[in-house]
Amino acid sequence: MKPSRAAEHHRSDRIGWLRAAVLGANDGIVSTASLVLGVAAAGAEHRTILLTSVSGLIAGAMSMAAGEFVSVHSQADTESADLAQERAEIRRDPVGEQQELAGIYVGRGLDPALAAQVSSQFMARDALGAHARDELGMSDTTAARPLQAAWASAASFSVGAALPIAVVALAPPAQLIAWVSVTALVFLASLGGISAQVGGAPIAAGTWRVAFWGSAAMAVTAAAGAVFGAVA
């Protein structure tokens, strides 16, 4: 009886939605907190700050969804064009394409005879899939999914933006800037740690990176609001 293999769990299948979700949540926290700090530093009333931040959430979520959909759809269009080109080349010159595939396997360490055998079997079973994977570097895991990216970005942006908005609604107006600044840093650090853990990266590095750049963005925005003294 053969020993059963332990199930292997990899994180590469999370690349698409994790990237979009982290980007959206980070942008939601940073942009909304920065907007609040800039408007508050300019001397706006509490009600104006709250309405402005809610408007920022709505506009930001729509912008993130549209931007992700367009950019990821462009990637999907490029992948489709490459696959169409590869399909035509296989139909036009199957022998040459098999030799090309064999050359790839030789470059990866197989001896020529085995590479020719492997490429022949792949060409017979799924020629386009073999070329997509081994020549073009495409796979189901990394395939572009525009709708998934758009929804993930919009939803995560909304969640991220809702956090500083909740602080604005609950914090004393006199200490609003301090409350938003401190809680935004906590939110960003938590986001960095969680995303690093989900992605299998060092948690300390992810926490520091997200918190540092987020605090820099908020500081610049608050300074601009204080200097120009105009409600954005």
Percent of the chain with pLDDT over 70: 83
Instruction: Look at residue 231 in the predicted model and tell me its pLDDT.
Output: 43
Instruction: Look at residue 170 in the predicted model and tell me its pLDDT.
Output: 92
- pLDDT tens digits for range 13-26: 455 556 667 778 88
Give the pair of three-digit tokens for residue 164.
């500083």
pLDDT surpasses 80 at 111? yes
pLDDT surpasses 90 at 161? yes
Q: DSSP readout, 146-207? A: HHHHHHHHHHHHHHHHHHHHHHHHHS-GGGHHHHHHHHHHHHHHHHHHHHHHHHTS-HHHHH
Q: What is the mean pLDDT of the chain?
A: 81
pTM: 0.66
